[in-house]
Structure 1
Amino acid sequence: MITDRSESVDVLYVDAPQDHGTDSVQAFVQALSQQVRIVRRNLLLLEMMKRRRLLDGQLEVASEIQEKLTPAARCRGEHWETAAFYKPAMWVGGDFCDLWALPDGRLAFAAGDVSGKGLPAAMVMSNLHAALRAATTFSDTPADALTYVNTHLQHSLIGGMFVSLFFGVLDGETGTLEFVNAGHIPPLICTSTWEVDEFAIPQNPILGVVDHPLESDRRVLAPDSTLIIVTDGVTEAGGENGEEFGTARVADALRQARDRTPEQLVQSVTNAVLRWRGMGPQQDDITVLAVRRTSGA
């Protein structure tokens, strides 16, 4: 009998004549069984390595696809400019970050967080990406678009999953920003005079749980002001003492930026989080999105 610590059991049966030495036959069988067990174990290891390489390859492709779904590090339009940082905690992540120009020239942008992380959250993120872009093609307001997305998510999420999201549409020429905050961390606004304030406390609940009407809000962004949206991978990043980074430290990092360009603001926040975390591992997906109305508006 050939056994190992796994649940599988192999049986080796040998029918030897009685006139052959019992001890020598038994020694031969034991040696043979050891060799068979080693070969069998090596074959199993090779199969596991083959499957792992296949899985790693699929995860790498999934990571490349998700990278295509997230904004470039820097984008610029006639009346706006943006910067973004996106880093999943695993191969792929559940943070959501997107921006695109609407047919009328306005800028649509969104940042949010799917509950959980890894592959399940990444699948929801891809679903959300497609649903939100589609909804903006037939919706009159951001609230209408997210109402459709909320209904869609209710039918596609498994129990216990949800999405927090900030979605805005900016008219860079007038500075008018129409937005919906569905249970997400309130963004921060950086003014041209280096002031940093909380922008909008969420007035709507999270998405994907229950049917509820969503409401849009409207503000005017002054020239050279920048909206900063982060996910909880930033605010809940743990320091070496166990304390969370928090929104106040995000604001401090923005004030300490070398200048007010979106790239510098994003870099200042991400560097501050990295210093705060120290040698500790990244526990959650991290997203920072900066949207600025330029002075030429």
Structure 2
Amino acid sequence: MIGFFTLFLYPGNTTFLKHERDTTKEEPSENDLIRLLLKRQAELNALLEVTLAINKNSAPTVLFEMLEVILRVNLNVGKMSLLVKEGSDYNCVTSYGISGDVQVNFDKVYEILTPLKTIASLRGHEDDYLRQYDFFVPVRHKNSTLAFVLIGDFNTTPELLSHELNYIQTLINIIVVALENKKLFRERVQRERFQRDIELAGEVQNMLVPTRFPKSDRFEIAATYLPHQNIGGDYFDFIRLNDKEFLWCIADVSGKGISAALLMANLQASLRAWTSVESNLDRLVTKLNEAVTKTTKGERFITLFLGKYNEETREMEYINAGHNAPIMIADSQATFLKQGTTLLGIFDELPFVQPGKLVLPDNALIFNYTDGLIESADEDVFVSEEELVEYLSQHCDLRSQQINKGILSEIQVSRNAKMHSDDITLFTLKIY
């Protein structure tokens, strides 16, 4: 025969059931029920006060002080340690009632406790430090243990133990998760602020490189710049020296991000300043090396290609300072423009400078690029110089901008910014 049950419900995860046929235990007296209700009301009030303090954005120290008062006064917990995860470690953020005589090996303690997922008894534990406590209470959120609390000298009745442990877990969960959410919010705000700064820096950097090139029936230029992040260390430029000559430049600063962008801006300023008074490439590259070395103290370097072209004589002079050799397609032949010197910023004085000199025929194509182009593919696809030569030879009749677009489309690096791990710059010059 199925009997009847009298249900006594308490907040939390514990439900006490009393079977009507169980005559071994006395029914709780009216005074017992009143005391229990008052205790539950005090627990609810404590949760409310903690929630209000969180909503008021109270400091963590205030919340920990409230926690200590609730545990000491409301729940008769004689000792407590709260350890919160910070990075890969757990740090004790608040504690009381702990003996300082016990030597603690926290690495061992963490090794013992971190695998535990539920409330566990520590009474009689083999570890001297953990033996001080009665219970381990984890605080988990989204399958991660954010914190755990160790409690000891816990003065409660066996009937209420389960409920009060769950209550402690709920209370600390509210505090720790709230603090974790605040931390995540601050980190998100910082990331958004940093991202806005990066975007602004990218806009400023874009002002340092030409977006338009002069139109002429003697030459045509197109450039494409794809920074890995919003800002980068690639640089290109076009400078009119006089009504007959112009200079172009492509460079790659070692490193990425803000530091590379700052060095790139320094290079741009130096190049612009020196070309206003010096058009000799030997002396110009020497001055640039001095400026870079002075700025970086040998800790960074720059690869650089400088080219100068005379529209009347069709003479071209260039210096390659350790840069990926531009590819020239002329008279159905491919030539790599390698002559020059070593990287800028490595030596106080360049050990040698050997400019290259050419006379360009009609319809010559000079394709300049940074190493992000050939280092941007994934493990299955690698863009080689031979592939670039083949593409340029087959499409040298296209306009400069079409060549750039075709190369990016051909090697599929422009479809997703995440596919390349470095800045990519293309600078295509056609001489008619």
TM-score, length-normalised on structure 2?
Answer: 0.59
SS in 1 for 2:397: coil
- The equivalences for 1:82-231 within 5 A come to 82-157=221-296, 159-191=298-330, 193=331, 195-210=332-347, 211-212=349-350, 213-231=352-370
Query: Is 1:52 aligned with 2:132?
Result: no
Measured against aligned partners, the alpha-carbon deviations of 1:173-204 in whole angstroms (never above 9, x if no partner) come to 3212222111112211123x5x1411422331
**In 2, Cα distance between equivalents of 1:202 and 1:52:** 44
In 2, are the aligned partners of 1:162 and 1:207 still within 8 Å (CA)? yes
Counterpart selection for 1:3 from 83, 95, 99: 83
SS in 2 for 1:146: helix
In 1, are the aligned partners of 2:244 and 2:312 still within 8 Å (CA)? no
Counterpart selection for 1:245 from 369, 378, 383: 383
Percentage of matched positions with identical amino acids:
26
Counterpart selection for 1:265 from 394, 403, 407: 403
SS in 1 for 2:428: strand
**In 2, Cα distance between equivalents of 1:277 and 1:154:** 37
**In 2, Cα distance between equivalents of 1:288 and 1:30:** 59
CA-CA distance at 1:110 after TM superposition = 0.5
1:275 and 1:184, CA in 2 relative to 1: closer, same or farther beyond 3 A? closer
Measured against aligned partners, the alpha-carbon deviations of 1:192-241 in whole angstroms (never above 9, x if no partner) come to x5x14114223311111101153433222223212111121223343553
SS in 2 for 1:232: coil
In 1, are the aligned partners of 2:378 and 2:419 still within 8 Å (CA)? no
Query: Is 1:291 aligned with 2:429?
Result: yes
TM-score, length-normalised on structure 1?
Answer: 0.84
**In 2, Cα distance between equivalents of 1:278 and 1:91:** 14
1:59 and 1:148, CA in 2 relative to 1: closer, same or farther beyond 3 A? same
**In 2, Cα distance between equivalents of 1:279 and 1:72:** 20
**In 2, Cα distance between equivalents of 1:259 and 1:292:** 10
What stretches of structure 1 move > 4 A for 4+ residues in a row? 20-31, 275-280
**In 2, Cα distance between equivalents of 1:217 and 1:3:** 67
**In 2, Cα distance between equivalents of 1:43 and 1:278:** 33
In 1, are the aligned partners of 2:249 and 2:306 still within 8 Å (CA)? yes
**In 1, Cα distance between equivalents of 2:309 and 2:201:** 31
Can you give the 5+ residue segments of structure 2 that lack an aligned partner in the other structure?
A: 1-80, 98-154
Counterpart selection for 1:42 from 169, 173, 181: 181
**In 2, Cα distance between equivalents of 1:253 and 1:264:** 12
**In 2, Cα distance between equivalents of 1:201 and 1:123:** 27
SS in 1 for 2:323: coil
Alignment: residue pair count: 287
Query: Is 1:71 aligned with 2:210?
Result: yes
| Structure whose alpha-carbon radius of gyration is higher | 2
1:280 and 1:127, CA in 2 relative to 1: closer, same or farther beyond 3 A? closer
1:37 and 1:236, CA in 2 relative to 1: closer, same or farther beyond 3 A? closer
**In 2, Cα distance between equivalents of 1:70 and 1:239:** 29
Can you give the 5+ residue segments of structure 1 that lack an aligned partner in the other structure?
A: 15-19
Measured against aligned partners, the alpha-carbon deviations of 1:84-122 in whole angstroms (never above 9, x if no partner) come to 111122222222211122244522110122122222222
**In 2, Cα distance between equivalents of 1:239 and 1:5:** 36
**In 2, Cα distance between equivalents of 1:39 and 1:203:** 61
In 2, are the aligned partners of 1:74 and 1:263 still within 8 Å (CA)? no
**In 1, Cα distance between equivalents of 2:415 and 2:199:** 26
* Structure with larger RCO (C-alpha < 8 A, sep 6+): 1
Aligned Cα root-mean-square deviation (Å): 3.1
